[in-house]
Chains A and B, each alone.
Chain A
Amino acid sequence: MGSHRFLPNTLQDRDDILQACGVKSVEDLLVGIPAEVRFKGTLENGPALSEMEIRKRIHALTRGSRHAQGGRSFLGAGVYEHFCPAVVNQLTLRGEFLTSYTPYQPEMSQGTLQVLFEFQTMVADLFGMEVSNASHYDGSTSFAEAALMAARLSKGRARVLVSRGVHPEYFDVMKTYVANIGIELVPVPLDNKGQTSQAALKSLLAGDGVAAVMCQSPNFFGCVEDQETLAGLAKGAGAVFVTNVAEPLSLGLLKPPGAYGADIATGEGQSFGVPPSFGGPFVGLFTSRMEYVRQMPGRLCGETVDAKGRRAFTLTLSTREQHIRREKATSNICTNQNLFALWATIWLSMVGKEGFKEMAHQNFSKAEYAKDAILKTGKATLRYSSPTFNEFTVDVPSGAAAFAKACVARGVAPGVALSRFDPNDETGLLVCVTELKSRAELDELAALFKALA
């Protein structure tokens, strides 16, 4: 192999380096690796391709994608398609943001650090909570770590009650996270309005040892929960109340977690203009009361001063973290999800206070319009009577999966068939409507129900 475009060393450079090292060949530098463990073959990862060839390959592979096919989607279920101004993509391409490391050397990372301070401020404010961390992998892992933090806060208690309104994949992740550390997850069913059953919650709370009650609002089925009452029940039993906001744009209209007494509130920041990207990378949100800050997982950025007394920012409270505390850390998480915390920060500052409220209201209005239009076809019924934000569950008696498949053949994904999560749920379809859909597209969706359901 001759030179490669990513590698500055020419063959001459390689020779010069070998000479500087006082050896004859690269092999001489590998003497520390015992012969018995050396790989004798060559890696079968194909030939080195040029940019042109890679472009052609990816183009050929994704020819059938929704984008290439011009398809439209009413899919949500934890991943929401929102408008993203061109500025966000452009600014996040700046090499100073894109190709820097974790800001361990604050003097040469003030850009990243100030962004994190701004991110923490905006997330905490939207959630009505006192403190936000610098972000987490995603919503599902934020929520799972919230269960661990809640258990730490209520020492000796090991039962965590989790509403069935929580995203099923989030529930699965939490199950994995607690499998080895003695925390028991107990699901709390929904009532016939699609909200966490207060009767079931009361009876589960009557037993001892409940560390936390964990809910999501709007919940997986789109229903807004009576969070104030649920929080009251949890606290009455001495449990920590944790809530998840999988669609935080809803906070433009709805009471935030801090206002109904959440102790820990998590969320998925994908909603802040982060592209769906087939499921990631996203950005997990993690907020809490200030009194619990030393039990929080993840990075925190704080304001301080430099040697000249000027305002400066730095990572702080690292005594909670793995690189200092090792097995006694509050989490094994290393970095935050910085590039997408930046993405969300730019998006939120572009959308701004009025834009955020207006976008939230458009989502709500369009979803209400679509809901009415679908119900008017007589081909589907509303499963739950609870208020919804931009997503709702309908029953398609002729079968949700079959209906969805028929629509896809016409270029539209009408919603997520709930049989994906529960094979017994043959009729449920979760429909999501955001500001990106025009009235004509909503009418088209209703027409598909009429024709195909």
Chain B
Amino acid sequence: MEFLKKTTSQTVVLEEATLFENSRPGACGIALPPLDVPAADVAKVFGNWARPNDLHLPELSEPEVVRHFTRLSTWNYAIDLGIYPLGSCTMKYNPRLNEEIARSGAILEAHPYDPEEWTQGHLAVMHELQEDLMRVTGHPAVSLQPAAGAQGELTGLMMIAAYHRAQGKPRKTIITADTAHGTNPASAALAGFQIVQVTTDQDGSVHPEAVKAVLNNDVAALMVTNPNTLGVFEKHIKTIADMLHEAGALLYIDGANLNAVLGIARPGDYGADVIQFNLHKTFSTPHGGGGPGSGPVTVSERLIPFLPVPFVEKKGDAFSLSFNRPQTIGRVKAFVGNYGMFIRAWCYIRALGGEGLRRVSEDAILNANYLRSQLKDVFNMPINAPTLHEVVFNDRNQRDSGLETTKIAKRLIDYGMHPPTVHFPLCVRNAIMIEPTETESRREMDRFVGAVKEILATPDVEQAPVRVPRERVDETKAARELKLRHVFR
């Protein structure tokens, strides 16, 4: 375990109780100025609508709160600490300027119902981002409103349903691929569709024949991630798009892997009718431990009438929110969308410019192929096709030594790095899906490769992880004996 010793050291991590265990009556973290108007009478105004029971919010001083959360933060792994090669999650560095600007007074204090005199700048940023996103996908229209990638999918699918209704021929089926994220079928179901799944070919792409076999006049659209979750560009996508359109169906491209094709291939050019962005992936808005996301959609001419409202419109030099889309599916979210994320994505795009965005994809592809080149001799590669920003292996070569995917993943944790996505995509048994992104240096990728190789060379060690504040977590017990909150005595 030479590599482990050379690249890590073990340090003390402090234990920390919950807020409720730390709470002591009489402590308080804030002070409000004294009430400068007469105290209103709660009992008189609200009678028995007043709160009868007391709250159990914790009572803590400011330093105690700061220590609590700072200690808890040390129990987390993060991109700021090292490589986070989760396939199809695009865990790239989040530039700090974006965070600083999104948290400045002009942005934070803007109320969604502020008069337009005060919001011209905010609307201008949104308008510019709308233009930016259309340039990236080659589509003629956009909605920034969806709150996350999954909601972008839902929005796109609802527009597809509305499109077919408007044609006078409602259609009920969505074709998905076996490489799809779980959100695809779940979003389709929520938009009222049933699912037919096609199987990806051995060469890593969906074959037109497979689509043809299930294509009929009840098919509303085919939904596929491109490049797909094998990291492979769907090589028949143009043929499939033409087939779909011929049959009156549409093409939904899941933009989860857009980071691979900025300036290289535009969905709008090859026949996509709708694509959702994940600004938290491609445009580096922070994942925040699981949200907020932001999932704008761009669409082809066919779907423009059905886009959500409102959207930002520019007339002369003035910007305003427009609701003028009589066939709209309506709102998918209150207000205008996750504006704070728009600001961050806008800053990111400005920092790179058009040429830089293309460089992002190139470096993402270079890095993923570098890892592929370094690991292809130790891992099995079930689909041997050219890959872009990510690469999928599995544990077939390791099975004899008793090292399976989960074990390899958990052992990486002891090397102080986050494991890749595992057991996904579902079409690969025991998949290990690696996406380094463009913001990893060769040094960091070599650290990852060194760790993987040492793990594979030393199959028999104690159950990992052990060099963490908590060892293997009992997930079965959590589900069987549900404890979803602290119980107050």
Given contacts A45-B354, A48-B351, A355-B30, contact A278 B473 (CB under 8 A): no
Is B439 a contact partner of A8 (Cβ separation < 8 A)?
yes
User: How many Å from the CB of B362 to the closest CB on chain A?
Assistant: 5
Number of interface residues of A (CB under 8 A): 201
A sample of 18 inter-chain contacts (CB < 8 A) reads A30-B386, A48-B351, A58-B125, A94-B69, A94-B70, A98-B286, A100-B78, A107-B470, A107-B472, A176-B329, A275-B109, A278-B122, A280-B333, A304-B473, A317-B479, A321-B182, A332-B153, A338-B289
Query: CB within 8 A of A98: which of B99, B136, B418?
Result: B99
Among B1-9, B86-94, B396-404, the one that faces the other chain is B86-94
Of the candidates B53, B104, B350, B477, the one whose C-beta lies within 8 Å of that of A46 is B350
With A22-B373, A114-B72 as known contacts, state yes or no: A302 contacts B479, CB within 8 Å: yes
A319 to B182, CA, bound (A): 12
B161 touches A180 (CB 8 A): yes
> What B residues does A404 contact at CB under 8 A?
115
Q: Are B57 and A176 in contact (CB under 8 A)?
A: no
Cβ of B243 < 8 Å from any Cβ of A? no
Partner-binding segment picked from B211-219, B297-305, B363-371, B450-458: B363-371
Q: Among A39, A69, A182, A252, which residue has the most Cβ atoms of chain B within 10 A?
A: A39
> Is A24 interfacial (CB-CB < 8 Å)?
no
The 9 A-B pairs with the shortest beta carbon distances in the complex, nearest first, are A279-B335, A339-B288, A180-B192, A95-B80, A43-B354, A32-B386, A279-B112, A8-B441, A140-B334
B188 at the interface (CB under 8 A from A): yes
Nearest to B329 among chain A residues (CB) is: A176
Residue interface mask B343-362, A partner, CB < 8 A = 1: 10001011111111111101
Contacts A336-B290, A358-B32 hold; do A176 and B332 have CB atoms under 8 A apart? yes
A259 CB contacts on chain B under 8 angstroms: 51-53
The minimal Cβ–Cβ distance linking A95 to chain B, given in whole angstroms, is 3
Whether a CB of chain A sits under 8 angstroms from the CB of B259 is no
Which of B72, B161, B183 has a CB less than 8 Å from the CB of A322?
A: B183
A219 CB-CB contact with B under 8 Å: no
On chain A, the residues within 8 Å of B122 by CB distance are 62, 65, 278
User: In whole Å, how far is B261's beta carbon from the nearest beta carbon of chain A?
Assistant: 8
**Is B166 at the interface (CB under 8 A from chain A)?**
no
A62, B120: Cα distance in complex, Å: 8
In angstroms, Cα B468 to Cα A323, docked, is 26
Assess whether B336 is in contact with A278, with CB atoms less than 8 Å apart: yes
Q: Which residues of A contact B439 (CB under 8 A)?
A: 6-8
**Residues of A contacting B27 in the complex (Cβ-Cβ under 8 angstroms):** 352
Q: Enumerate chain A residues within 8 angstroms of B57, measured Cβ to Cβ.
A: 122, 125-126, 348-349, 351-353, 356
Task: Give, as a whole number of angstroms, the nearest-CB distance from B215 to chain A.
Answer: 19
Known contacts being A6-B351, A75-B114, is A303 close to B29, with CB within 8 Å?
no
Residue of A169, A317, A326, A349 touching B186 (CB-CB under 8 A): A326
Closest CB of chain A to B435's CB: distance in Å? Answer: 12
Over the window 477-489 of chain B, the binary record of Cβ atoms lying under 8 Å from chain A Cβ atoms (1 yes, 0 no) is: 1110111111010
Across the interface, do A332 and B190 meet the contact criterion of CB distance under 8 Å?
yes
Q: Are A317 and B365 in contact (CB under 8 A)?
A: no
**Chain A residue at minimal CB-CB distance from B365:** A29
Chain B's closest residue to A299 (CB) is: B290
Chain A residues in 8 Å Cβ range of B72: 110-111, 114-115
Using an 8 Å CB-CB cutoff, how does the interface string of B37-75 with A read, 1 for contact, 0 for none? 111101001101111111111111010011011101111
Q: Which residues of A from 361 to 415 have beta carbons under 8 Å from B?
A: 361-362, 364-366, 368-369, 387, 404-405, 408, 413
18 more A-B contacts (CB under 8 A) besides A14-B363, A32-B232, A408-B115? A17-B366, A33-B265, A46-B353, A57-B350, A63-B121, A102-B291, A118-B20, A128-B53, A170-B334, A181-B190, A279-B335, A280-B336, A281-B338, A322-B186, A334-B293, A338-B289, A349-B68, A368-B37
Q: Please pick, from A4, A37, A328, the residue contacting B356 in the complex, using a CB distance under 8 A.
A: A4
Contact B291 A172 (CB under 8 A): no
Q: Does B463 contact A (CB under 8 A)?
A: yes
| Bound Cα distance A210, B194 (Å) | 26
Known: A39-B266, A107-B410, A107-B468. A124 touches B485 (CB 8 A): yes
Known contacts A281-B338, A306-B471; A13 and B442 CB within 8 A of each other: yes
With A54-B347, A356-B57 already in contact, the answer to whether A179 and B329 are too (CB < 8 A) is yes
Residue of A nearest to B80 (CB): A95
A254 B46 Cβ-Cβ under 8 A: yes
B478: chain A residues at CB < 8 Å are: 302-304, 313-314, 316
- Shortest CB distance A194–B (Å): 14
Q: Tell me which of B55, B75, B97, B474 contacts A110 (CB under 8 A).
A: B75
Interface centre among B286, B290, B355, B374 (most CB of A within 10 A): B290
The answer to whether A108 touches B76, judged by C-beta atoms less than 8 angstroms apart, is: yes
CB pair B75–A114 under 8 Å, yes or no, is yes
Is the CB–CB distance between A351 and B30 below 8 Å? yes
- Stretch in A83-91, A196-204, A235-243 touching the partner: A83-91
User: Which residue of B has the minimal Cβ distance to A294?
Assistant: B482
Distance from A249 Cβ to chain B, minimum over Cβ atoms (Å) = 12
B387 at interface, CB cutoff 8 A: yes
Which residues of A lie under 8 Å from residue B331 when comparing CB positions? 140, 169, 172-173, 176
Q: Does B313 interact with chain A (Cβ within 8 Å)?
A: no
Question: What sequence of 0s and 1s flags, for each residue 1-24 of chain A, a beta carbon within 8 Å of any chain B beta carbon?
Answer: 100111111000110111011100
Q: Which one of B48, B112, B264, B360 contacts A39 once the chains associate, using CB atoms below 8 Å?
A: B264
Do A73 and B68 touch across chains, with their CB atoms under 8 A apart?
no
Decide yes or no: A137 and B51 within 8 Å by CB, A98-B288, A342-B289, A408-B117 being known contacts: no
Q: Does B163 contact A (CB under 8 A)?
A: no
Interface: A138 (CB within 8 A): yes
Taking the nearest CB of chain A, how far is it from the CB of B72, in angstroms?
A: 4
The reply on B448 being an interface residue by CB < 8 A is no
Shortest C-beta distance, A14 to chain B (Å), equals 6
**B-side contacts of A319, CB under 8 Å:** 479
Q: Which residue of B lies closest to A172 (CB)?
A: B331
- A36 close to chain B: CB less than 8 A: yes
User: Which of chain B's residues have a CB closer than 8 A to the CB of A252?
Assistant: 51, 55
Given A29-B365, A114-B72, A302-B478, decide whether A276 and B110 contact each other with a Cβ distance below 8 A: yes
Determine the chain A residues whose CB is within 8 A of the CB of B36 once the complex forms.
438-439
